Amino acid sequence: MITAALVLLSVFQVADSTGQPMPDGLATIDHVVAHGVAAGGFPGAAVVVGRRDTLLLVRGYGHQRWGPHARTIDPSTTRYDLASLTKTLATGLAAMVLYDHGRLDLDAPVDRYLPRWRGGGRERVTVRDLLTHRSGLPAGRELWRVARTPAGARRAVLATPLDELPGTRYVYSDLGADVLGFVVEAIVREPLDAYLADRIYRPLGLRHIGFHPRGGQLAQLAWTDARPGAVNDRNARVMGGVAGHAGLFASATDVAAIAQMLLHGGVYHGIRLVSDTTVARFTARTAGTRALGWDTCAGGASCGQYMGPTTYGHTGYTGTSLWIDPEHDLFVVVLTNWAAGTAGHPAGPGAILADVRADVADLAEATVASGPAGPIPPPALVALRSDAARGW
């Protein structure tokens, strides 16, 4: 276990950029996340809390990996393996742009874009079904056991039979996200990672986001239990590190920039990526709690207890999350490498990650949205799960 004294905070201050004292709720976030690191939940974390036009808190906690000589976390440059946040910040974002440009029809059958993906009911699967996890595909399969190359993994995904009739039942599916990635590639006629880099990330000025990090980027990585530079998800790994469901690496501030773009109705620093109506369409509930590619807050879990049903976001297995509350003009980015583990220091209990993420969301929401007559208490009255530390 790491003592609290050794939990280093980068860009640490107790005042905002104007020199004014930081609100109590944001200052308490330091306590919550440092507690999680000190308890051994994860080697380090990067947290950004902000609104469409400002960053309220930008923090790095702890280190990139367990052990001596590890670098401290820099929320602007340390790259985290985002895991399933790839579904929203890569594949889903590409789908949003293509829809906005009239190149992707949400209600078109998938075989319009992938003509060979037919038979066994596949011809009834729509793009919308893929985005809402109602395609009928199973949750996943161990591609790394049946394929040795990206081409072989792709064939295995496309050969997977449906388990359900399309549109009838929600099953959260990595395979559906992979098929959506193939749809994007078929439309743009280039690899998913190249399209995202050239048409989305670079125009927005994002410099610390992308797939398969290499070269000098390796020194910026927050390690998981995969070899440095390799995506933690083994299926994404056998797909060459670029998959619709996983593979994206990013810094907390680059994730925050995408959140600000969405809160601004598709605009970031004067660059319009998509229309405000497209943002609204993709982020509103459309099937259960699911939006198009996104999930929405149902209360509890990583979005906390105060964010409402118009809040949208996603999480990743490695210990990452993003929640965006348009009602209160707020976003919360929490990136950890909870999945980091070695023989001498296995990954910490999942309860630590769960409590820290929920507390950060609650404190952020209480800071910007609490009021004397409202249902959200002031930050000082927020009951912190991390203080109870049950299951830690």
Give the pairing type, strands 320-325 and 312-316: antiparallel
> What mean pLDDT comes out for the span 247-268?
98
Counting residues of the chain whose pLDDT is more than 90, the rounded percentage is: 88
The answer to whether 215 and 53 are in contact (CB under 8 A) is: no
Q: How far, in Å, CA of 391 to CA of 36, rounded? A: 12
Which pLDDT score, from 0 to 100, does residue 354 have? Answer: 97
Q: 333: number of CA atoms within 13 Å, CB side?
A: 31
pLDDT computed for residue 8 by the predictor: 53
Residue in the structure block whose two tokens are 């496309």: 158
- Segment 361-390 shows an average pLDDT of 93
Residue-wise pLDDT for 182-192, tens only, equals: 999 999 999 99
pLDDT digits (tens, 9 = 90+) for 344-367: 788 889 999 999 999 999 999 999
276-302 pLDDT, tens digit each: 999 999 999 999 999 999 999 998 899
Q: Report, as an integer, the average pLDDT of 169-178.
A: 98
Q: In the chain, which residue ranges form alpha helices assigned H by DSSP? A: 24-38, 86, 93-100, 127-131, 143-146, 150-159, 174-188, 192-196, 234-238, 252-263, 276-283, 350-369, 385-388
Amino acid residing at 101: H
Instruction: Please answer whether residues 162 and 135 qualify as being in contact, where contact means their C-beta atoms are separated by less than 8 angstroms.
Output: yes
- The span from the CA of 315 to the CA of 353, in Å, is 12
DSSP label of 244 = S
Using DSSP bridges, classify how beta strands 209-211 and 267-268 pair: parallel, antiparallel or unpaired.
unpaired
Topology classification of domain 4-78+249-388:
Beta-lactamase (3.40.710)
- pLDDT tens, 225-247? 888 899 999 999 999 999 999 99
Determine the pLDDT at residue 7.
Answer: 54
Give the whole-angstrom CA distance, residue 384 versus residue 362. Answer: 9
**357 in Cβ contact with 33 (< 8 Å):** no
Distance CA 222, CA 70 (A): 10
Structure confidence at residue 342 (pLDDT): 77
Please, what's the b/e burial string for 168-182 (b: 16 or more CB within 10 A of its CB; e: otherwise)? Answer: eeebebbbbbbbbbb
> What does the pLDDT read at residue 13?
37
Predicted local distance difference test score (pLDDT) of residue 42: 97
Give the C-alpha separation, 226 to 241, whole Å.
12
pLDDT at 347: 84
**pTM, rounded to two decimals:** 0.94
106 burial via Cβ count (<10 Å: 0-12, 13-18, 19+): middle
Q: How far apart are CA 327 and CA 284, in angstroms?
A: 12
Q: Which amino acid is at 196?
A: L
Q: Please, which pLDDT band fits residue 21 given cuts at 50, 70 and 90?
A: low
Please give the structure tokens belonging to residue 238.
């056998």
Neighbouring residues of 338: CB distance < 8 A, sequence distance ≥ 6: 41, 42, 318, 319, 347, 348, 350, 352, 353
Burial of 116 (0-12, 13-18, 19+ CB in 10 A): exposed
pLDDT of residue 68: 85
Structure tokens at 125: 């699967």
Average of per-residue pLDDT values in the chain:
93
Q: What would the pLDDT profile of 73-132 be if each residue is shown by its tens digit?
A: 999 999 999 999 999 999 999 999 999 999 999 999 999 999 999 999 999 999 999 999
pLDDT over 70, % of the chain:
94
CB 244 within 8 A of CB 181: yes
* Nearest residue to 57 (alpha-carbon basis) of 11, 20, 7, 5: 11
